Structure 1
Amino acid sequence: MDYFHGYAVVGLVAVVGVLFVTVAFAAGRLLRPEVPTPEKLLTYECGVDPVGEGWAHTQIRYYVYSYLYVIFAVDAIFLFPWATVFAAPGFGGATLVEMFVFLGFLAVGLLYAWKKGVLEWT
């Protein structure tokens, strides 16, 4: 009986959470004023009235640079715990090999991006 008690508690908390969100959304829908006007339905952006078309051309290279940043930020996140484990007795050789394999995968990805010309800003 104790085994299923833990699942019952989790299920009860999930049901209470769903009910709480449902009641909050329903109360918000019932209590909010709804008076649509043309000004309210107009797209708002930084206090400037929208002029022209809503489409803007954005260079894809900005997204590629952001993805490369995320990759190397994740790399840095994995390097710090590795440095603490590397100092522990008995983990030196194995963790060193594992980290070089990890860094090798990242180096291959960077080399691929460089060969494809992604890193050139022209």
Structure 2
Amino acid sequence: MSTPANIGYLYAGILLAAGFVFVIVAMVLANLLAPHNRTREKLQTYESGETPIGSAWVQYPLGFYIFALLFVAFDVDIVFIIAWAIIFKQLSLFGFFEILFFIIVLALGLVYAWRKGVTRWI
């Protein structure tokens, strides 16, 4: 007795639907069972046990966000380079030039960000 080739999609669909149902049920139960009495202490901003000074809605310079995105982009790229390094012996000369091109594109992106002033912290 053989199974159809698309049975994996059925299992994936069932798991996806079960995941959605679990999340929705958990959110509804948490909303129904959680206490909803608001006090001054609960509405106050929490800063590591210290009394907050000023408002929590501080506007940060845009450069901080761009710097963080640049860090995340290069951090993810390191994952690709590590994966490439693990299978380096299996690759031919084409694989070497492929990663070389990848690193050159990364370097050009870093030079572009540097020239735009993104890497300056303040």
TM-score (norm 2): 0.68
Partner of 1:101: 101
Report deviation, 1:73: 2.3
1:20 aligned residue: 22
Larger of the two Rg values belongs to structure: 1
How many residue pairs match? The answer is 120
Aligned runs of 1:23-102 on 2, under 5 Å? 23-88=25-90, 91-102=91-102
Aligned partner of residue 87 in structure 2, secondary structure: helix
- How many Å apart are 1:102 and its aligned residue? 0.7
Shift of 1:109: 0.9
Question: Counterparts of 1:103 and 1:83 in 2: how far apart (Å)?
Answer: 13
Give the Å deviation of 1:106: 1.0
Distance 1:25 1:110, change over 3 A: closer
Q: Percent identity?
A: 38
Q: SS state of the match for residue 2, structure 1? A: coil
Instruction: Flag the structure with more relative contact order, 1 or 2, with Cα contacts below 8 A and sequence separation at least 6.
Output: 2
Instruction: Write out per-residue CA displacement over residues 11-70 of structure 1, whole angstroms, 9 at most, x where no aligned residue.
Output: 433333333333323332332333222332333333334443444343433333333333
TM-score by length of 1: 0.68
Tell me the C-alpha RMSD between the 2 structures.
2.9
Against the structure 1 CA distance between its residues 48 and 105, is the aligned structure 2 distance closer, same or farther, given a 3 Å change threshold?
same
Measured at CA, do residues 3 and 58 of structure 1 come closer, stay the same or move farther in structure 2, by a change above 3 Å?
Answer: same
Structure 1 residue runs of 5 or longer lacking an equivalent are none
